Amino acid sequence: GENVEQHPSTLSVQEGDSAVIKCTYSDSASNYFPWYKQELGKRPQLIIDIRSNVGEKKDQRIAVTLNKTAKHFSLHITETQPEDSAVYFCAANNQARQLTFGSGTQLTVLP
Amino acid sequence: KAGVTQTPRYLIKTRGQQVTLSCSPISGHRSVSWYQQTPGQGLQFLFEYFSETQRNKGNFPGRFSGRQFSNSRSEMNVSTLELGDSALYLCASSLLGDRVNEQFFGPGTRLTVL
């Protein structure tokens, strides 16, 4: 089955700096890669997703890049703000459309 | 549109008991997935239901079961509870189409097993 590895598990950055979270996946048939943000005590919410027919997607301060050959994808957050502090999860689908999630990254933005 | 709702929000049970959790998807969403979230294991997939049929199943023991009703509402049941079943149980709904679509999560049910 699909295996998704996520690094780092914790990440601290100064406000205004950039943050990068990386994930690798194992199933070459995966074609959908969402990123979810989960604030403390709240439900996971989709912040950006990318499909395998594109290599990069941006939405304001957030971007995701996908390298299908290497089977890895990354989340980039620029100009980080305290409200970006949360746990971020990457995920990838398998052929049955089931999502497998990474283990999560606790991002802390220091003021 | 109302979001995904889950009831109850909190549950405290003792070992050996059973529990039933409920999930109401977003109107029009026919796919419901269940996940177990624990601090050490992240989000682990339990199962997915579509049109009252289980389409996918994760690697959980048979004590974990579910069902879906004709209105797409879903329930999951855990029998013979163990201490290790303490977790946040999340359900997520999505539209089903030609490709994988965004999953919308509910607020979760926090289960504590004593």
Phi/psi at B85 (nearest 5 deg)? -85, -5
On whether the CB atoms of residues A45 and A37 are closer than 8 A, the answer is: yes
Render pLDDT for A25-74 as a digit per residue (tens, 0 to 9): 999 999 999 999 999 999 999 999 999 888 999 999 999 999 999 999 99
CA quadruple A104, B1, B87, B96: dihedral sign? negative
Question: Cβ–Cβ of A46/B56 closer than 8 Å?
Answer: no
With CA atoms as reference, the chain B residue closest to A42 would be B107
Tokens at residue B33, please?
């997935």
- CA B84 to chain CA centroid, nearest Å: 17
d(CA B74, CA B33): 9
**Contact (CB<8Å) A43/B106:** yes
**Chain A residues close to B41, C-beta within 8 Å:** 103
Q: Closest approach of chain A CAs to the CA of B11, in angstroms?
A: 16
pLDDT digits (tens, 9 = 90+) for A72-97: 999 999 999 999 999 999 999 987 77
Bridge partner residues of B80 (DSSP): none
The reported pLDDT for the residue numbered B18 is: 98
Q: How far apart are CA A60 and CA A39, in angstroms?
A: 20
Cα–Cα distance measured from residue B74 to residue B106, given in angstroms and rounded to the nearest whole number:
12
Question: Are the beta carbons of B56 and A31 separated by less than 8 Å?
Answer: no
Nearest to A31 by CA among A60, A1, A73, A62: A73
Pairing state between β A86-93 and A56-59: unpaired
What band does A1 get if pLDDT is binned at 50, 70 and 90?
Answer: confident
Q: Give the pLDDT confidence score for residue A53 in this predicted structure.
A: 84
pLDDT score recorded for residue B98: 63
Which of A99, A100, A103, A105 would best serve as a mutation to test chain B binding (most B beta carbons within 10 A)? A99
pLDDT at B97 (0 to 100):
66
Q: Which among B48, B56, B90 has CB closest to A43?
A: B90
Interface contact flag, B43 A89, Cβ < 8 Å: yes
Q: Do B105 and A102 touch (CB under 8 A)?
A: no
Tens place of pLDDT per residue across chain B (114 aa):
689 999 999 999 999 999 999 999 999 999 999 999 998 778 999 999 998 999 889 999 999 999 999 999 999 999 999 999 999 999 999 987 667 778 999 999 999 999
- DSSP 3-state of A18: coil
- Give whole-number Cα distances, B80 to A43, A63, A94, B46, B103, in Å: 27, 45, 31, 17, 30
B93 touches B32 (CB < 8 A): yes
